[in-house]
C-alpha cells in the first residue's frame, strides 16, 4: 500500500466520522433541489443519515455516513428514511430510524463505533486482497 492510498483510507474515515453528526450532514447541503418544507428536504435527508455528494452530472446525489450507500434521482415526495431502508436493508442507522436528537447516548455511541468498525473491516479486506494478489504473482514467478 502506498502512502497516498493510506492517506485516502484515513481521509475516508475522517469524512465518515465528520458526517456521523447530523449538523455536519445538514451543512453539506449547500444547494438542494427541494425546499425545507418538502418531504425530501435537505434537513430530512441529513436526519436520515445522508450528506451531499452531488456534482454537475448528479446534482442530487447523497451518501449515508454509515453504510456508504449513495442515492440520487430524488423526487419531492420521497421519504428519505423509507428510501434509506429500502436501498440499504442492513444499515444500522436506517434500522434505528431515529433522528440524532432521539437517539440514546448508547445508541449514538454504538453508531459511531459502527463507523470505525466498518472502516477497519474494509481496510482489513483491502489488505487481504492485496496479499492474495501478491501471493499469486509470487507463485507465478516461482513456477516460471
Distances (CA, A) of 10 to 65, 110, 123: 15, 20, 10
- 93 grid coordinates: 442507522
Q: Which of 16, 28, 63, 88 binds Zn ion (CB under 5 A)?
A: 88
Residue number, 5 or 79, with CB nearest to Zn ion: 79
Rounded to a whole number of angstroms, the minimum distance from the CB of residue 116 to Zn ion is: 15
- Which of these ranges, 3-11, 35-43, 56-64, 135-143, lies near Zn ion under the rule CB under 5 A? 56-64
Residue 64 sits in the site that holds Zn ion (CB under 5 A): yes
Contact 63, 51 (CB under 8 A): yes
Interface with Zn ion, residue 46, by CB under 5 A: no
Question: Rounded to the nearest 5 degrees, what angle is found at the Cα of 11, between the Cα atoms of 42 and 15?
Answer: 20
In the complex with Zn ion, the residue whose CB is nearer, 82 or 133, is: 82
For position 16 contacting Zn ion by CB under 5 A, the verdict is no
User: For residues 65 and 26, what is the distance between their CA atoms, to the nearest angstrom?
Assistant: 12
Q: Under the criterion CB under 5 A, does residue 91 sit at the interface with Zn ion?
A: yes
Q: Residue 70: helix, strand or coil by DSSP?
A: strand
User: Which residue, 35, 15, 33, 34, is CA-closest to 25?
Assistant: 15
Residue 67 binds to Zn ion (criterion: CB under 5 A): yes
Q: Between residues 46 and 66, which has the closer beta carbon with respect to Zn ion? A: 66
- Interface positions with Zn ion (CB under 5 A): 64, 66-67, 88, 91, 94
Amino acid at each position: 500500500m502506498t502512502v497516498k492510498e493510506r492517506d485516502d483510507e484515513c481521509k475516508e474515515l475522517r469524512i465518515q466520522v465528520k458526517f456521523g453528526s447530523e449538523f455536519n450532514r445538514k451543512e453539506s447541503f449547500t444547494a438542494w433541489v427541494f425546499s425545507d418544507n418538502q418531504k425530501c428536504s435537505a434537513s430530512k435527508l441529513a436526519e436520515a443519515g445522508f450528506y451531499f455528494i452531488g456534482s454537475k452530472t448528479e446534482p442530487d446525489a447523497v451518501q449515508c455516513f454509515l453504510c456508504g450507500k449513495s442515492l440520487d434521482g430524488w423526487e419531492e415526495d420521497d421519504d428519505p428514511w423509507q428510501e434509506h431502508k429500502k436501498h440499504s436493508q442492513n444499515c444500522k442507522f436506517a434500522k434505528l430510524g431515529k433522528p440524532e436528537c432521539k437517539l440514546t447516548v448508547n445508541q449514538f455511541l454504538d453508531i459511531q463505533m459502527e463507523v470505525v468498525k466498518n472502516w477497519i473491516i474494509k481496510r482489513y479486506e483491502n489488505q487481504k486482497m492485496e496479499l492474495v494478489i501478491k501471493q499469486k504473482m509470487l507463485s507465478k514467478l516461482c513456477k516460471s
